[in-house]
Structure 1
């Protein structure tokens, strides 16, 4: 912990920060004169979304159906959720 206080964060968080800086530089080099200046925080993901328990299979199935419809796929599940009678 003391080392991180001197040098900054280590591990994946540091990589996110470095990539955020790099991406902001590239975005700013490509932006128009009247557009907003990009900042590294615009490109750094926030991984902790709070305390959520594991998803139920029904929630997973609903998420998969939503994704499938968004990418133009076909829902081949039956009412119980099985594909072509599997289960």
Structure 2
């Protein structure tokens, strides 16, 4: 992570996160589907008797819902970023902006 932060600004990382949120995962084609399938398989091997079998869709991230979502203002975006960092146990640094 330090190398990434040394190469990219927080603004660029935020743009990539927003892009990925809309389009789905960046990287090898649809690894999210592969992992959802794997997770469903593992979950089904451990389910109790009479419990419903889980489907890959139960574990698949739902990407952009299109126009149904209202645009966020900067405070909402900041709250989402804080939630992301807390869920991933990441740390943040405040960087003073330099005038251009």
The structure where helix makes up a greater share of residues is: 2
Larger radius of gyration: 1
Higher relative contact order (CA 8 A, sep 6+): 2
TM-score (norm 1): 0.48
